Amino acid sequence: MSIINIQNVTKTFPEGTKALDNVSLSINDGEVFALLGPNGAGKTTLIGVIAGVVQKTDGTITVLGKDTVKDYRQTRGTIGLVPQEIQVDIFLSIKKTLEYQRGFFGKRKNEKLIEKTLKALSLWDKKDAPVGSLSGGMKRRVLIAKALMNEPKILFLDEPTAGVDVELRKGMWDYVKELKKNGTTIILTTHYLEEAEMMADRIGVINKGKIILVEEKKTLMKKLGDKTLEITLDTPIQKIPEKLTQYNLSLTKDGEKITYRYKPGQTGITKLLANIKECGISLKDVETRETSLEEIFLSLIDNNNETKTI
């Protein structure tokens, strides 16, 4: 069942930037949807128009069947929003911040909810500290706690782990999984593709304001995932020799590794390795693995930013 329905939504900012270009998308109840795209693609704007905090230029959005403009208070009430930019009152304690947030949504005091949320986000022992005294990673977790104060059906996480160290990131995602288990629908954007790979049921890719792909993560990984042969070189090279351009190869920035993407069962690896040797390149190591989402993503959003069809 769909919980959010976006139809032909366009957003043009007053000075002319078309941040969303005829976006149609449906989000399923209870899923984790990862929205990926390069900087400036329109991710934050899309989240903003769904939450009703950015005014769309055109199109219709419904949340739980209600229009986000006509029934703003109702739809906004079902949404928790963790913004990309940290915006908090630095003088308020964490606990007060959360209490005020509940009040903002017209919700009754709920000490238990605050305690449970802060404990889950490892913030409980800091509950009386002014938010301004916290590290960046802690502030971001306060934003998550804040977004949960209206007990939302839908949670938007806009790059929630930016600036949060690796260990805490894991804890955050464990908590997000917990929320999903309890039926919360989650839409997230992240720069760490391994996080999308780990968390998402479906993946959407947006580029220049257009949705260019929506797919089950599993299907996407299967369809494009294929395999990668990673060839570590004895000595780094500057570029891939002309002779090898017939293969689907790419060179890492440091020039130390050549990667070859191929379909499982595809032959020709022996020939490729022989051809590489013929070019005078000697190999240190050869390894095969599944292609990561990061590589799939980069091949979608290629250098000249043209939309590829798969």
| CA 270 – CA 302 distance, rounded (Å) | 28
Tokens 């949340």 found at: 63
Q: Which is nearer to ligand ADP, 39 or 309 (CB)?
A: 39
Give whichever of 23 and 123 is closer to Mg ion, judged by the CB atom: 23
Strands of the sheet with 66-67, listed across from one edge: 18-28, 2-12, 58-63, 66-67
Binding partner of residue 17 among Mg ion, ligand ADP, none, CB cut-off 5 to 8 Å per kind: ligand ADP
Tell me how far, at minimum, the Cβ of 43 lies from ligand ADP, in Å: 3
Any idea what the Cα angle at residue 45 is, between residues 221 and 180, rounded to 5°? 50
Q: How far is the CB of 291 from ligand ADP (least distance, A)?
A: 24
Residues 34-63 that bind ligand ADP (CB under 6 A): 37, 39-45
Check: CB of residue 194 under 8 Å from CB of residue 294.
Answer: yes
Complex with ligand ADP: residue 4 or 276, whichever CB lies closer: 4
Beta carbon nearer to ligand ADP, 48 or 225: 48
Binding segment for ligand ADP among 2-10, 15-23, 102-110, 253-261 (CB under 6 A)? 15-23
Q: Are 236 and 69 in contact (CB under 8 A)?
A: no
CA distance 43 to 26: 15
Site for ligand ADP in 223-242 (CB under 6 A): none
* Residue 276 touches which member of Mg ion, ligand ADP, none, C-beta under 5-8 Å by kind: none
Q: Which does 95 bind (CB under 5 to 8 A by kind): ligand ADP, Mg ion, none?
A: none
Minimum CB–partner distance for residue 43 and Mg ion (Å): 5
DSSP characters for 171-239?
A: HHHHHHHHHHHTT-EEEEE-S-HHHHHHH-SEEEEEETTEEEEEEEHHHHHHHHH-EEEEEEESS--SS
Looking at residue 81, the DSSP 8-state letter turns out to be E
Q: What are the Cα distances from residue 261, in Å, to 161, 225, 251, 256, 291? A: 30, 9, 12, 17, 8
Interface with ligand ADP, residue 17, by CB under 6 A: yes
Cβ of residue 227: shortest distance to Mg ion, in angstroms? 32
Subset of 19-78 contacting Mg ion (CB under 5 A): 43-44
Binding site for Mg ion (CB under 5 A): 43-44, 84
Binding site for ligand ADP (CB under 6 A): 13, 15, 17, 19, 37, 39-45
